């Protein structure tokens, strides 16, 4: 039997806030011939990109769920397909982190605190506004992917550079698909 509650008094519940604790780098032993110091640099860099990738994926779902207007179905389906494509890039980045002995730090809270993307506007509904916001997010993520290619090349990791070349190429294709909705002339 549950205890009786006084329904005339408002219930107050205090939820304790958890302190923000910096994540301590964790690496596992591996026979990978990249030095431990370089692997740690690579893991740190890729975890940053992973955070932005998770954020991008959820921004795309935000657009997918909330788009309105005469192009609803086309944009609704497109944003969902782009989100699925980004999900595969996120998975590839996370798996590369683990291959190098690191821990893929891909929780929503981690992504929110580390993402380099701008906050997605929650107050838009019109298809063209979503096209503009999604285009900006894709463009920013693509820029960071290309920057990552340069950075990991300096760290002599051709495999990670190849992964981010694939990500960059894919993001550019998705950006083209999305921007096509705002580039038509009469």
Per-residue pLDDT of 37-88, as tens digits, reads 999 999 999 999 999 999 999 999 999 999 999 999 999 999 999 999 999 9
| CATH assignment of 40-179, among 1.20.1260.10, 3.30.1490.20, 3.40.605.10, 3.40.50.1370 | 1.20.1260.10
Distance (Å, whole) CA 40 – CA 150: 17
Residue among 21, 83, 79, 76 at smallest CA distance from 55: 83
- Rounded mean pLDDT, 128-148: 98
- Specify the length of the chain in residues: 186
Q: Which residue has the higher pLDDT, 63 or 21?
A: 63
CA 129 to chain centre: 20
Task: Say what the pLDDT of residue 159 is.
Answer: 98
Q: Please compute the mean of the pLDDT values over residues 164-182 and round it to a whole number.
A: 97
Domain regions of the chain by residue span = 40-179
For the stretch 74-123, pLDDT in tens is 999 999 999 999 999 999 999 999 999 999 999 999 999 999 999 999 99
Model pLDDT, residue 11: 47
Dihedral (CA of 121, 124, 127, 132) sign? negative
**Average per-residue pLDDT in the chain?**
89
**Range of weakest confidence among 16-20, 22-26, 134-138, 163-167:** 16-20
Instruction: Calculate mean pLDDT across residues 13-39.
Output: 68
User: How many alpha carbons lie under 13 Å from residue 15 in its C-beta half-sphere?
Assistant: 2
The percent of residues above 70 in pLDDT, for the chain, comes to 85
The pair of three-digit structure tokens given for residue 145, joined into one six-digit string: 């992917």
């Amino acid at each position: 039997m549950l205890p009786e509650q006084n329904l005339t008094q408002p219930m107050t519940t205090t939820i304790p806030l958890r302190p923000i604790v910096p994540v301590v780098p964790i690496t596992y032993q591996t026979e990978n011939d990249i030095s431990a110091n370089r692997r740690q640099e690579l893991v740190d860099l890729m975890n940053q990109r992973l955070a932005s990738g998770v954020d991008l994926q959820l921004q795309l779902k935000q657009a997918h769920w909330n788009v309105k207007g005469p192009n609803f179905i086309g944009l609704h389906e497109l944003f969902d397909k782009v989100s699925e494509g980004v999900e595969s890039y996120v998975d590839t980045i996370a798996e590369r982190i683990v291959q190098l002995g690191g821990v893929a730090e891909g929780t929503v809270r981690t992504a929110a605190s580390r993402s380099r993307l701008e906050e997605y506007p929650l107050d838009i509904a019109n298809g063209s506004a979503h096209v503009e916001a999604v285009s900006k997010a894709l463009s920013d993520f693509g820029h960071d992917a290309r920057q990552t290619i340069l950075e990991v090349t300096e760290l002599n990791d051709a495999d990670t550079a190849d992964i981010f070349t694939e990500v960059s190429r894919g993001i550019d294709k998705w950006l083209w698909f999305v921007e096509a909705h705002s580039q038509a002339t009469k």
